[in-house]
Chains A and B, each alone.
Chain A
């Protein structure tokens, strides 16, 4: 079983739509959670960290359910510039621990 499972999509939505991505992680020892964004064959960039209480950054809302080992990302009022691959990422143990990436969910926002 993979450490992080994500629906690869693709998700194709019109501008202004709300879209939600989900992922699950298999190891209960995971301690830190993130969403990264990756544009075509470029480096991943941190979109936001995910906290147990849930957190919001503008149009983006992330949620974590430790009991279900489930992480979500909600994007409201989608923009063309949101088109990218969204990677669900977890880290176990100490801050020197490796990152475990999901395979990514591809989003295309059309005009």
Chain B
């Protein structure tokens, strides 16, 4: 087990709704990144947080936002959901001093109808 927990595992929403996905990392994992994986594609980088501040962002619109908390948990928020937002959302964390090794959560499968 990676020690990274994501919730919920599955979620169904309708277009226009908002969703919050959660990730809980191990103690000391102060870097967390979020990825979107559409069916048949590789994961695409959404953004990364380091010590509670965003320090990198991929090609995603502002309706994708995030937070990282002092207790090593984080959130991905998506507003105004679109059908194309249907995907597996993965979070990955790494430990201070060993940033090469990423620990992935098992993901949240989001379906937008």
A51 to chain B, nearest CB (A): 12
User: Does B26 reach chain A (CB closer than 8 Å)?
Assistant: no
Question: A96–B99 contact, CB under 8 A?
Answer: yes
Question: B48–A42 contact, CB under 8 A?
Answer: no
Contacts of A20 in B (CB 8 A): none
Contacts of B90 in A (CB 8 A): 43-44
Interface residues on B, range: 20 to 34
Interface residues on A, range: 20 to 34
Nearest residue, chain A, Cβ from B90: A43
User: Does B73 reach chain A (CB closer than 8 Å)?
Assistant: no
Contacts of B44 in A (CB 8 A): 101
Interface of B is mostly: strand
Chain A residues within CB distance 8 Å of chain B: 4, 6, 8, 32, 41-46, 49, 87, 95-104
A and B contact pairs by CB, cutoff 8 A, 28 listed? A4-B42, A6-B42, A8-B40, A32-B100, A41-B107, A42-B106, A42-B107, A43-B2, A43-B90, A43-B106, A44-B90, A45-B104, A46-B101, A87-B43, A95-B99, A95-B100, A96-B50, A96-B56, A97-B56, A98-B33, A98-B45, A98-B48, A98-B56, A99-B43, A101-B44, A103-B40, A104-B41, A104-B42
Q: Which 5 A-B pairs have the closest CB atoms?
A: A101-B42, A43-B104, A95-B99, A98-B45, A103-B42
